[in-house]
Amino acid sequence: MDKKLKIYSGLLVFMVLGIFYVESVKPKEINWYPSYAAKHKIPYGTYVLHKELPSLFPENEVKDIYQNPYVYLKDAKHNGTYFFVDNKVNFDKDEFNQLLNFVNRGNNVFIATNGIHIDTLKTQTRVLTTSVFEEKAYQKMSNPIFGEKEYHFDRDFSKFYFSEVDTLHTTVLGELVIRNENDSIISKKPNFIKVTHGAGSLYLHTFPQAFTNYNMLLDKNYEYVANVLSYLNSQNQKEAGVASNRSNTILWDTYYKTGKSRITSPMYYILSTPSLKWAYYIALIGVLFFIIFKGKRNQRLIPVITPLKNQTLAFTRTIANMYYEKSAHKNIAEHKINYFLEYIRNQYRLSTLEINERFYKNLTSRSGNSEEKVVALFKRIQHIQTASSITEEDLIALNTAIEDFKAYKK
């Protein structure tokens, strides 16, 4: 491992450790997502309420329902109090008719949601708006038995109230109270009602935030939740002399929950889990570093080096021209003869130390040339070797004879 690669690896490790340190020491942001799910401990979850239901209803069984009401209530044997709390609860026609049949048999349905509109019950909601610059919203029970205490929720929320109700079958149980900066009441609207239907009742509340973890742990707001839910307590009903055939079961809805568990894709699961999310990010960073540094190492520009030219042919031509221009035909012929004899030794595996009749016959049989041509060629070679000088014509005739010998093929 070279020095540069060690530096890059050290930087990568330092960055990863730095990310882990920053993530571990920085304060976690508060998640204000309106979940309303019983398993969530975030401010707008309902973990606290769900955990405290057995103490609020000591004689009732709490049962989580994971199906939609239409499917679950097809079985007429199911009885109790169906409990809905969520940011938005939208029933279709068949589903709500199933709930009405459930209520008609003497059961209860509790629905806490923002702005519920139920035409069947002649119930409509509207958002309350005022012209007051600094207003405060309070929740208050209507029945004097609970006293005049008002409960404040210090987070901003949509102030829904019931703008239209069926007065023959509806009882107002709670109110939304708006006060100005001087603590004077400027508006009071119903936000918690009871609608009788058959042998049972529907309890409708327009402030689901009251049942969240944040509100339950804020000051003494849990008292308000207990007062609201006291209307569902079967023991209280018996003490009040109200006949009821309901079973002692709280049917806690987990189907209509904004924050219910749903995995839409593997990537959603990875990014929703902090440990897997950071492992995924670190893997991406590692791949990025690998591409940058490994690619730079492998794709570095390679300088173009011009290969050396083969100068043998040029050198040969230069020497030949030099001999030719000086009329050194004898020297050229001797070089030509030496190359030819080397050719015979390599090509035909014949010794050229003795040039005799046996040599002529062997060369003739191996080369395919006629014996007369072979003998004439070597007579010419002997003449040139013994002569003190030769003419240009003699050199040309020698070259022609040698080339003619090589050109013959069996």
Given a contact cutoff of 8 angstroms between Cβ atoms, the answer to whether 47 and 38 are in contact is yes
Task: Provide the β-strand partners of residue 189.
Answer: 176
Reported as type and span, the H/E element at residue 116 is none
**pLDDT (tens place) for every residue of the chain, 410 residues total:** 567 777 777 787 788 788 777 777 777 788 899 999 999 999 999 999 999 999 999 888 999 999 999 999 988 889 999 999 999 888 888 899 999 999 999 999 999 998 777 778 889 999 998 888 889 999 999 999 999 899 999 988 889 999 999 999 999 999 999 999 888 999 999 999 999 999 999 999 999 999 999 999 999 999 999 999 999 875 544 443 444 444 579 999 999 888 776 555 677 667 767 888 888 888 888 888 777 777 666 656 677 888 777 766 676 677 667 666 666 788 888 888 898 899 999 988 999 888 899 999 998 998 888 889 989 989 999 988 888 888 888 888 888 988 888 887 65
Given a contact cutoff of 8 angstroms between Cβ atoms, the answer to whether 60 and 238 are in contact is no
Distance (Å, rounded) from C-alpha 368 to C-alpha 18?
86
Q: What is the structure's pLDDT at 239?
A: 41
Q: What 8-state DSSP symbol labels residue 259?
A: T
Burial status of residue 220 (CB atoms within 10 A of its CB: 0-12, 13-18, 19 or more): exposed
Distance (Å, rounded) from C-alpha 170 to C-alpha 123?
9
Which amino acid, 225?
A: V
Which structure tokens are listed for 57? 């209803």
Q: What is the structure's pLDDT at 247?
A: 58
Distance (Å, rounded) from C-alpha 256 to C-alpha 263?
16
In three-state secondary structure terms, 109 is: strand
In three-state secondary structure terms, 5 is: helix
Given a contact cutoff of 8 angstroms between Cβ atoms, the answer to whether 259 and 86 are in contact is no
Residues 134-192 pLDDT 10s: 899 999 999 999 998 999 999 888 899 999 999 999 999 999 999 998 889 999 999 99
**Residues whose CB is less than 8 angstroms from the CB of residue 13 and which lie 6 or more positions away in sequence, other chains included:** none
User: SS3 for 43-64, per residue?
Assistant: CCCCHHHHHHHHHHCCCCEEEE
Reported as type and span, the H/E element at residue 366 is helix 357-367
What predicted TM-score, i.e. pTM, was given to this entire model? Answer: 0.60
In angstroms, the first-to-last Cα distance of the chain is 63
Which structure tokens are listed for 148? 């005049």
Burial status of residue 384 (CB atoms within 10 A of its CB: 0-12, 13-18, 19 or more): buried
- Phi-psi label, residue 306: left if phi above 0, alpha if psi -120 to 50, beta otherwise: beta
Closest C-alpha among 403, 385, 397, 404 to residue 331: 385
Q: What is the structure's pLDDT at 391?
A: 86
Domain boundaries, the chain: 3-28+266-298, 47-129+192-253, 312-407
